[in-house]
Structure 1
Amino acid sequence: MSNDTITAKIFTYDNVPDVHKVTVEEATGTWCGWCPRGTVYMDSLSKVHPNTTVLIAVHGGSASEPMLLSDYASGMSSKIEGYPEVLVNRTYVNDPSSAFSLYNAHINDFGLADVGLAVNYNTSNRQAVTTATITSAVNIDGDYRLACVYTEDDVTGTGNGTNTITGDYDQVNYYSVAWNNANGYTPPGPLSGGGHDWAASANPVPATIMEYDFVARVIQGGFIGQTGSLPSSMTAAGVYTYSFPAYTLPANYDPEKMKAHILLIDATNGIIMNGNSMALITVGISDPASGKYSISLSPNPAVDQIYVNLNFKDRDNVKLVITDILGKVCYSNDMGTILSGEHRLPVDISKLSSGTYFMTLVGNNGTATSKFVK
C-alpha cells in the first residue's frame, strides 16, 4: 500500500497543540540487505529534527531476527509491503528515502492534543513506569488510545560474520561494492550514514562493528493502543492522565540508552495523531550522542543570557542550534572545531520571546539536547 492514504477525520478548530511531533516507525531487520538505507535516513532524521520526531525501529520479517518484537512487527506487517519501509504517523508508508519529504508533509498536521509524559525508573528493581498526560486542543469524541513504546540505542550483539544463524547481529548489506563485484552484480551506488560507509563495507557487516539505534523493545497497549486509556469524550483544554504498568528491563538492556515514547492513536483508523519521547534516565543529553558529549545550561530559566556548559570526549566539528517548541530554528552558530574537554560558552537570548526552547549541539558524533525556559 505504498503511497496510499488512510482516511482521516476532519476537525475544525481554533486552538492547536503547542507541540506536534512526527512519528516514524521503520520496518527493518539484520537479514535485510537493503535495510542499511533505513538506518541512514533514521539517523539523519534524529540529527536534523531531534525535537520534533518520535523514531522507532521495529525489527521483524524473520524468526531469526535477534531484535524481533513479534507483536509490534505483526502490527507493522498489516501496513507495509516489504523491508525497509517507514510508516509516518501511520498515514503514509514508503521507502526510507522519502522520510524527509514525508516529515515536511506532516509536521504541520493537527496533533489533536499535547502529549506529555513522565518516566519513573527504579534503579533497584529496574522497573520503569511511564505516565502520559494528554491536554486536548479541542472537544473530542471517539475511540482514542495511548500506547507506550520503549526503545534502546547502541544495541550490540554477536555474530559469526555470515548472518546465517538465529540471533546473528551481523547486518546484511547489499550496498557492498566488494560483494557486488565478486558476485557479478552492479553496485547500487553510494550510501553513507548511521556510522558506516555501506558501499565500502562488507556483506554482511560484522556484528563487532554494528550498533543499532531506536530499537523497539516493548509496546505497551498494543499496536492500536490500550483500550480505555482515554475517555470517549474529552473537552478542549481538558487534562487526562494514564499510567502504564511497570515494565521490568531485562538484564542486558541499558537504561541510560533507553527512551519511552507515548503515541496518541485514533483507533478507528490507526492514525498516530501525536507523540512524545523521554529518556528513562535524564543525563542532560539526548542520544545518539550518549557518551560523546554532555551539555547543561545555566541559569535555567534565563533572561538575556544563558551559559552552555559542554564536555567533549573527543575533538569534533559542531554547531549550536536553538529551536522553539514548534521546531523553528531561532538561533544557529557554527562553532567550528572544538577540542576535547570542558567548555563554557555564553549565548545571547535577549531577542527570544518568553517560552520553552531546546538547545541542541550538532556534531559528527550525533546530537545532544537540553531544554531551557526564558
Structure 2
Amino acid sequence: MSKKLYLQFLFLVAVICHAGNVSAEDHNLIPSTGQKVYVPITAKSAKGKLLITNYGSTVIRNFDYTLSFNGEVLVSKNYVLPEPLNRMEGATIEVDVPPHTQVSETDLLFTITKVNGEVNGTSVNHATLPRVTVTKVPHRKIVVEEYTAMWCGYCPRGIALMENLAKNYPDDFIGIAVHTGGRADPLSCTDYAWKAADYRSRPTLHMNRNLFLGYVKAITEFEEERSRGADMDIDVTATWDDRQENITVTPRVTFCVDKEDVAYGFAYVLTEDGMSNPNWYQNNYYSGRTEELGVSDELDYFIKADYAVKGLENNFVAIAAEGVKAPLTGYIQTPIKADRPQSHTYVFRNISSKKLIQDKTKLKVCVLLINIKTGQIENAAKCTISPANTTAISSVSEGKETVVETARYTLDGRRITTPQKGINIVKYSDGRVCKEVVTR
C-alpha cells in the first residue's frame, strides 16, 4: 500500500471512530457519590440523594438505573426527570433505598444503564451510595456559632440570620452568640475567647464548624446541613442544686451503628436569652439600606432602625463554656454498640460568679459532640435547667417531656443523694437506668 493510500485509510478510520464516540457521547449521564442515607430497618425504604450530570449533547428526559449490593440487584427502575437536563447541567435526584437485613453500614452501587432508552455511553456510569440501616433515625440538630460584637456595625446581619433560623427551625436550631471585644462589649464571653481568636472578621457565622455563612439568610444551607443526618442521637438534662449555684448537666449519646475507632469530644455552653440594658447600643450599618428590604423580617427591623439601636434584646448569648477550643475527651466508651446509651455528667460551678447573667430563668445548656479528627460538630442538644431533683429532657421537641431522677447509686450498690465522682447508676421515673461517669 502506498503512503498516500495508507494515510487516507488512517483518516477514514479516525473519522469512523470519531463518529462512534460522538454517538456514544450523545447519551452520557454520570452519577456522583451519593449522600449517606439512614434507613429504618422496619421501613420499606428511605430516600437517598445523588447528583447526576449530563456530559452528552442530547437533552435527557429520563434514565434507567439499578441499585445493587454485593452484586445483587435490589432495585431496577426508570426515572423521569421533572425538568429536562441539558448538556453540562446537573441535578440532585432522590431514589428509594431499601434497608439491609441488619443494623449496619453498607455501600450500595448506583448504576445508570440507559439514557432516554439508549445505552448510557459513559464508562463512568456508576457511583457509591452509602447506606446506614438503623433501628431509629437520629435527629440531627444544627449549631450556628455567631462571633459578634455591639461595636460591629455589620453584625446586625448575623443577628438577623440567627433570629430567622430560630423562628423557622425552633426544634432543630441551636444558636450560640459569642460576643467579643472585652470592655467594648458588655457581653464578652471570656470562656470563648481562645476559640473566638480563630476568626478575625465580625460577624463570623460558622455552621457546625463546617460551613461559613456569609448572607442574611441561610435556609438552603441549613436544610442541606440537616439532611446529612448523624450517626447518633443526643439528649441532655440539666438540673440546679438546692442553692442554684451549680448546674449538673447529663448528656446521653446513643449511636445508631456499631463503631470501633472513634474520636469524639464534648463542649458545654451556657447561654442566656433576652439580655438587654438601656445603656447598651448596637452599631447598625444597615440603617436606611432600603434596597435590602424584604430579605427577611429580621433584617427589615435593622433597616428601619437607627444607626445606634438601643434596647435590643440579645439572644443565645454565650455566658460560660468549656471544651469549645479543645473538646473534652474520654467520655465515649469503645467499642461503641448500636442503640446502647452512654451518659456522663458535667457541672457548671459557682454560677453566682458569672457576672454576665441577668436572669437565671432564661439560661439554657448546650452540649456539642465534636469529631476530633475533622473538628466538625456531629450533633448537639439544648435544654432548659430544671429545679433540684427534676430533669428536663431535650429530644425531638425541647421541653415537652419531663422525667424525675428517682434514685442514684454507686457502682457497688450504695445509694447516694448527689452525683459522686466515679461511675453512678441513675434511675429515672420513665423507667430508664443510665450509667453516668462523674468526673468532677
Which band: TM-score by shorter chain?
0.5 to 0.7
Q: 30, 34, 46: which one pairs with 2:166?
A: 46
Q: Secondary structure of 2:309's partner? A: coil
Letter of the 1:55 partner, please give it: G
Q: Which moved more, 1:104-113 or 1:188-197?
A: 188-197
Q: Which residue of 1 aligns with 2:243?
A: 124
Q: Secondary structure of 1:241's partner? A: strand
Give the distance between the partners of 1:153 and 1:41, measured in 2 at CA: 16
Give the distance between the partners of 1:82 and 1:233, measured in 2 at CA: 41
Q: How does 1:160-309 map to 2 (within 5 A)?
A: 169-177=280-288, 189-190=292-293, 193-194=297-298, 197-206=301-310, 209-250=311-352, 252-281=357-386
> Structure 2 vs 1, CA of residues 40 and 98 (structure 1 numbering), >3 Å: closer, same or farther?
closer
> Structure 2 vs 1, CA of residues 171 and 188 (structure 1 numbering), >3 Å: closer, same or farther?
farther
8 A contact 2:237–2:385 mirrored in 1: no
Q: Which residue of 1 aligns with 2:186?
A: 66
Q: Secondary structure of 1:156's partner? A: coil
Q: 90, 100, 119: which one pairs with 2:209?
A: 90
Letter of the 2:153 partner, please give it: G
Q: Which moved more, 1:196-205 or 1:137-146?
A: 196-205
8 A contact 2:216–2:299 mirrored in 1: no
Letter of the 1:87 partner, please give it: H
8 A contact 2:164–2:217 mirrored in 1: no
1:221 to partner: Cα distance: 2.7
Give the distance between the partners of 2:181 and 2:192, measured in 1 at CA: 11
Q: Which residue of 1 aligns with 2:233?
A: 114
Q: Which residue of 1 aligns with 2:146?
A: 26
Q: Which residue of 2 aligns with 1:148?
A: 268
Rg larger for: 2
Give the distance between the partners of 1:269 and 1:142, measured in 2 at CA: 12
Give the distance between the partners of 1:228 and 1:222, measured in 2 at CA: 15
Q: Which residue of 2 aligns with 1:139?
A: 258
Q: Secondary structure of 1:235's partner? A: coil
Give the distance between the partners of 2:272 and 2:182, measured in 1 at CA: 20
Letter of the 2:322 partner, please give it: Q
Give the distance between the partners of 1:268 and 1:52, measured in 2 at CA: 24
8 A contact 1:84–1:96 mirrored in 2: no
1:157 to partner: Cα distance: 2.9
1:227 to partner: Cα distance: 2.2
Structure 2: runs of 5+ lacking an equivalent:
1-35, 38-104, 107-131, 388-394, 403-440
Give the distance between the partners of 1:81 and 1:92, measured in 2 at CA: 16
8 A contact 1:144–1:267 mirrored in 2: yes
8 A contact 2:156–2:299 mirrored in 1: no
Give the distance between the partners of 1:55 and 1:117, measured in 2 at CA: 16
TM-score by length of 2: 0.54
1:132 to partner: Cα distance: 0.6
8 A contact 1:143–1:232 mirrored in 2: no
Q: Deviations over 1:83-134 (max 9, x none)?
A: 2121111111122424222111111223121101111113524321111111
8 A contact 1:155–1:212 mirrored in 2: yes
Q: Which residue of 1 aligns with 2:423?
A: none
Letter of the 1:172 partner, please give it: N
> Structure 2 vs 1, CA of residues 58 and 221 (structure 1 numbering), >3 Å: closer, same or farther?
same
1:158 to partner: Cα distance: 5.0
Q: Deviations over 1:45-94 (max 9, x none)?
A: 1111000111111112555221112342431442x452212111111112
Give the distance between the partners of 2:212 and 2:296, measured in 1 at CA: 23
| Greater RCO, 1 or 2 (C-alpha within 8 Å, sep 6+) | 1
8 A contact 1:192–1:199 mirrored in 2: no
Give the distance between the partners of 2:372 and 2:154, measured in 1 at CA: 31
> Structure 2 vs 1, CA of residues 88 and 195 (structure 1 numbering), >3 Å: closer, same or farther?
closer
Q: Do structure 1's residue 37 and structure 2's residue 141 form an aligned pair? A: no
More helix by share: 2
Q: Deviations over 1:168-197 (max 9, x none)?
A: x310110122xxxxxxxx776437645972
Q: How does 1:324-363 map to 2 (within 5 A)?
A: 325=396, 358=397
8 A contact 1:28–1:57 mirrored in 2: yes
Q: Which moved more, 1:133-142 or 1:193-202?
A: 193-202
Letter of the 1:53 partner, please give it: F
8 A contact 2:138–2:231 mirrored in 1: no
8 A contact 2:164–2:298 mirrored in 1: yes
Structure 1: runs of 5+ lacking an equivalent:
1-8, 160-168, 178-185, 283-323, 326-357, 359-367
Letter of the 2:145 partner, please give it: E
1:17 to partner: Cα distance: 4.0
1:240 to partner: Cα distance: 0.9
